[in-house]
Every structure is written in structure tokens, then in C-alpha cells.
Amino acid sequence: MTKSWKTPEPADVLSYAYLWADEAERGQEEGLKDRPVVVVIARKIVDNRMQLLVAPVTHSEPKDGEAVEVPPPVKRDLGLDHERSWIITTELNRFNWPGPDIRVVRGSEDPYYGAIPAKLFERMRSAILAHRFRMTKRTE
């Protein structure tokens, strides 16, 4: 099935079992919940494989300056719920595509919700670059 999946690009929103940095520090290897994540960087590595950096989307309201809110029209366009959500900009997961933690979106045959608009992507990217973030490397 993965052969038909398109190559991820920055701003794409995927379904993924995100592992929070504090969970990884406690020795956890698997994310506890499948959630949308935004592709921050997608780059080719050895053997033409892709390495992705992704930022998690959460309903939990973050501290000031740690996230960018996802506007309701964007959530609607992605097919997400109606609750407030934020893209966390203080931590990322890094993994090789497609990886074991990619999940198929319910009612679909692939992991893609869609993509966030360029303006929102730039706000997210600027927020990530504005401070130090924690990187969690996932198992291949």
C-alpha cells in the first residue's frame, strides 16, 4: 500500500503516532496516541529514502510562544474535529519515511489529511526557528 503514497512535502499533514520528548526521556518507544502532524522538513537521505521532521498537533492549550493555533477553516479543510488545536513548535519527531508509526487516516487508504496553507506554515516555521526545540529520533 505504501508504494502508492505520494512523497511527503513540507506543510503536509499526516496521521502519525507521535512520541512526545518527555515520553521518550522516560524510556517510551511508542507514541500513545495517533495524531495529526505537520511535515516541517522532508529531505532525501541514503538509498533515496526520505527523512522527515514533523511537528505535532494537539488540543491541549500550550504555554505562550510554544505553538501556533490552527484556524477553524484550516481544520475544516483538513477534515479534523471542531475543537481548538495548536501546532507545537518546541519539539519535533525525526524519522525515515514511511516508518512504522505512520497511520492511515480513517476512511482513507493513505496517511494524508491534506496540507496547511503557506502562510500558516511560515508562521509555524518561524516559531520553530525562534527558539530551541527538542528533537526525538524515532526508531526505524
Domains and CATH numbers, the chain: 2-137 (2.30.30.110)
Q: Please say if the pLDDT value at position 125 is more than 80.
A: yes
pLDDT band per the 50, 70, 90 thresholds, residue 15? very high
In this prediction, residue 3 carries a pLDDT of 54
- Mean pLDDT (the chain) is 93
Q: What is the pLDDT of residues 38-96, one digit of tens each?
A: 999 999 887 778 999 999 999 999 988 899 999 999 999 999 999 999 999 999 999 99
User: What's the pTM value of the predicted model, to 2 decimals?
Assistant: 0.94
- Buried b / exposed e along 100-128 (16+ C-beta atoms within 10 A): ebbeebeeeeebbbebbeeebbebbbebb
User: Which residue's entry shows cell 481544520?
Assistant: 75
Q: Please say if the pLDDT value at position 1 is more than 90.
A: no
Residues 109 and 80: their CA atoms lie apart, in Å, by 17
Side-chain-side CA neighbours of 94 within 13 Å: the count stands at 10
